[in-house]
Structure 1
C-alpha cells in the first residue's frame, strides 16, 4: 500500500492532468491517513515551516530582478555589447548567441525567457547569414538551458534548500560546467559554420565596441555586482538578489529611462504570479518531504540500493537515466522538490558529495527541457519561431550529444565541481 501511495498515485494523478502542487498535497494526505503518521494539522505547520526560509527569499527577488533587467534595457545592452565584440571568425554570430545566453543566465533564472529574448535578437540574423531556420532555432532552444546551470539559478537554490547544502557552494560548483558547455557549443557552431561555408564577418571595430561598452556600462555592472558579491563573500545569494532588484529598478528608471515606476509595479505584479506558483510547489513539497521522511521511505530506498551492491558509478548512471526521463515531463522546480528527499539520502549513504550530486541533478533537468519529445523549450521555440516540432527534434540532436558529454564528465570527474567549491570558505 505504501508503494501504491508514493509511486502509483502520483503517476496516475499527473497523467490525469492534476496540477503538481495538488498531486503532492493529495499524496501527502493519503500517506498521513493510510500510515497514521500524525494529525492532518501537521500539514499547516509543515507548509509554513517550509516557506519560512531566508535562502528561499532569493527566488522571488531573482525572478523580479531578471524581469526588470529584461524589460528595462539592461539585458538588451549587455547582449548588444557581446554582439559587437564577436567578429572576424567563421560562426561569430552563433558564438555571440551562446555568449548572450550565458550572460542572460547570469541575470535571469528562466530558460523559456532566455529562448524568447535571445531568439528574437539573434535568429533573424543567423538565418540571414545562412545557418537556416531549423539550426538557428535549435541552437537557441538548446542554449537557453544554460540559464538553469549558470548561477544564479532558481533550480540550484531549490536543491540547496531541499538538500540542506550551501547555496553559495552550489553556485560555485555550477561555474565550470557552464563554461565547458558554452565552449563546446561554440566549437560546434564554428564547425557547423565551416560546413555551411558561412562567410567570415568583419572584425569588430574598436570604435563600435567602445560605443556599445559606454551604452552598456551600467548593464555590465549588474552581473559583476551579483556574481562578484556572492563569490567574493560580500553578501549572501539572498542579499545579492535584493541588491539586484534595487539596482535594476534604479538603472532602468533613472539612468536608461526605459521604465517608469508604474511599469516596475506592473512587472512586479506579473512576476508575483510566477513566484506564487513556485511557492505553492515549495509548500506542497515540504509537506510531501515530511511525509516521505516520516514514513521511512528514504531508509527503505537506501537499504534496497545497498542490497544491490552497486558501485557508485552504477548508482549515478541509474539516477542520470531517471532524471533525464523526469526532466522531459516536469520542469526543474517540481522535479527537484519531489526527487531530492528520495535521492539525496542514497547518494550521501554511498559517499557521494551532495554538492556534486546537485550539479548532476541540475544538468540532467536542464537537458530534459530540450530533450525530445516533451522538452518545454522545444514547445516554446515552436510557438515563438514557427519551426515544426519534428524539425526541432532533429535539429537539437547534436546539441543533446554535447550536453550528454558534459553530463558524463561532471558525473564521473567530480573534481570539476568539488575543487572550485573547496576554494570557498
Structure 2
C-alpha cells in the first residue's frame, strides 16, 4: 500500500508531468483505487491545506519582491552587493547569495525569494558565463537561506509546536544562516576561478559609497521589517503586508520609479506567480496528508526511538531522516508532523531544543531544493523555463555544500546557542 503512494507520482515525474499534477493525480488515484477513503477527502485536504495564516506571507512577499524588481530597488541592492564584491572572482554569484540572504531578512519565504530574484538575476548569471543549469541551481539553493535567517515561518511553527521561544529561535538562526551563506559564497568563488567566469569591476570606495546611498531605502526595508517584528508591532505575516506598503511608498514617492498603473501591473504579475506557487502547495498538501495518515513518518520516528541511539547517532539519524523527508514534504507540514515526535526524544538525550529547532530548519531548507520534489526546484523551473532534469544537475553541487554546512551546525551547538542562549 505504501509503495502505491510513490509509484504513480514517480511515474508521472519521469513522464514530465507538471509538479502539481504529480501530487494531485497521484493522490486522487491512490484514494480511488488503493485506500479506503471517500473522494470528498481530496477537496477537503487540498483547500484545507491553503487555510493557513502563515501562507499569506507568500503572496505578500512575492508582491513586495515584484515591486522591488520593477521599481529598481532590488537592482540597487544587487548593485550595492556587487560594489562590495567587485574584485572577487564570481562576484555576481556571490552577490546572488548575498541578495538572497538580504531577501531572507525581509520575507522569510524561500519560494518568494527564488521567484522574486530569479527574474532579475538569472539572465545576468547566464550572460556572465555561469551556464543555465548552474545559474538556476544557485538561485534555487540560495533561496533556502531565507528559511533560516529571521523572520522564518518555519521557526514560528517549530516554536509553537515545540513550545519554545520564537524570538530566541530567530536569534539562534542568524549565525547558522550566515555560515551557510559564507560557505555558498566560498564555493561560488572557487568554482568561478576554475571556470574563469567574468568578474565585475574592481572595488572602488567612492562607487561603493554611491551604491550604498542609492540602495539605502532598499537596505532599510529588512531593518524596519525585523525591527517591527521584534518590537511587537506586527506578526511576520503582517510584516509581509507592511513590506508591500513600504515598497509602494518608496517606489512611488521617493524613487518615483513606478506609476500607479505599473504598481497595479506588479500586483497582477504577483498574483499569477502566487497562484503558481500555491497550487503546488495545495497539491503537495494532499500527498503529505496521505503519507501522514498511512503512518509513514511516525513509523520512521518509532524506529529511531527503538534503536536506542546515542545523542551523536540520534542527530546523524535525524539528519538523514529530515533530508529524506524534506525532498517530499514542505517545511510547514514536516515540522507540524515531526517536531512533536522528535523533540521529546531530543530533550531526553540532553539536546537543546533551540539547537534542535535550528537543525530541523536547516535540514528542511536543504530539502526545499533537493531532487526530486524540492519546491524551490519547481519555482525556479517556472521562472527559468528549464526542464526538471537540468535543474537537478544544477542544484546537486549546492546540496553537497549545504550538507557540509549542516554537519558543522549540527555538531557545533555554539553556532545556534551563542546568540540564542542555552536552554
Report the TM-score when normalising by structure 1.
Answer: 0.74
Distance 1:211 1:326, change over 3 A: same
Structure 2 CA distance for aligned equivalents of residues 249 and 18 of structure 1: 36
Contact 1:77 1:212 in 2 (8 A): yes
Q: CA RMSD in A?
A: 4.5
Contact 1:58 1:241 in 2 (8 A): no
| Aligned twin of 2:38 | none
Contact 2:92 2:199 in 1 (8 A): no
Structure 2 CA distance for aligned equivalents of residues 269 and 372 of structure 1: 27
Structure 2 CA distance for aligned equivalents of residues 188 and 18 of structure 1: 34
In the TM superposition, what is the alpha-carbon distance from 1:313 to its structure 2 partner? 1.7
| Aligned twin of 2:42 | none
Contact 2:57 2:109 in 1 (8 A): no
224-233 or 101-110: bigger deviation: 224-233
Structure 1 CA distance for aligned equivalents of residues 163 and 280 of structure 2: 18
In the TM superposition, what is the alpha-carbon distance from 1:408 to its structure 2 partner? 1.0
In the TM superposition, what is the alpha-carbon distance from 1:194 to its structure 2 partner? 1.2
Distance 1:361 1:262, change over 3 A: same
| Aligned twin of 2:63 | 67
Structure 2 CA distance for aligned equivalents of residues 13 and 341 of structure 1: 30
Structure 2 CA distance for aligned equivalents of residues 59 and 380 of structure 1: 16
Q: 2:401 aligned with 1:405, yes or no?
A: no
Structure 1 CA distance for aligned equivalents of residues 164 and 148 of structure 2: 17
In the TM superposition, what is the alpha-carbon distance from 1:181 to its structure 2 partner? 0.9
156-165 or 113-122: bigger deviation: 113-122
Describe how 1:166-205 pairs up with structure 2 within 5 A: 166-205=165-204
Distance 1:91 1:123, change over 3 A: same
| Aligned twin of 1:117 | 116
172-181 or 145-154: bigger deviation: 145-154
Structure 1 CA distance for aligned equivalents of residues 102 and 360 of structure 2: 22
| Aligned twin of 1:348 | 347
CA-to-aligned-CA distance 1:265-290 (integer Å, 9 cap, x gap)? 76897799799989999x99xx99xx
Structure 1 CA distance for aligned equivalents of residues 259 and 166 of structure 2: 32
Distance 1:124 1:265, change over 3 A: closer
Greater gyration radius: 1
| Aligned twin of 1:34 | none
Unaligned runs of 5+ in 2: 13-21, 36-47
Distance 1:320 1:228, change over 3 A: same
| Number of equivalences | 395
In the TM superposition, what is the alpha-carbon distance from 1:220 to its structure 2 partner? 1.5
Structure 1 CA distance for aligned equivalents of residues 166 and 265 of structure 2: 31
In the TM superposition, what is the alpha-carbon distance from 1:106 to its structure 2 partner? 1.4
Q: 2:86 aligned with 1:87, yes or no?
A: yes
Distance 1:78 1:70, change over 3 A: farther
Report the TM-score when normalising by structure 2.
Answer: 0.74
Distance 1:302 1:337, change over 3 A: closer
In the TM superposition, what is the alpha-carbon distance from 1:340 to its structure 2 partner? 2.1
**3-state DSSP of counterpart to 1:178:** helix
Contact 1:104 1:114 in 2 (8 A): yes
| Aligned twin of 1:324 | 323
Structure 1 CA distance for aligned equivalents of residues 276 and 129 of structure 2: 37
**3-state DSSP of counterpart to 1:152:** coil
| Aligned twin of 1:396 | 395
In the TM superposition, what is the alpha-carbon distance from 1:19 to its structure 2 partner? 6.3
Describe how 1:137-216 pairs up with structure 2 within 5 A: 137-216=136-215
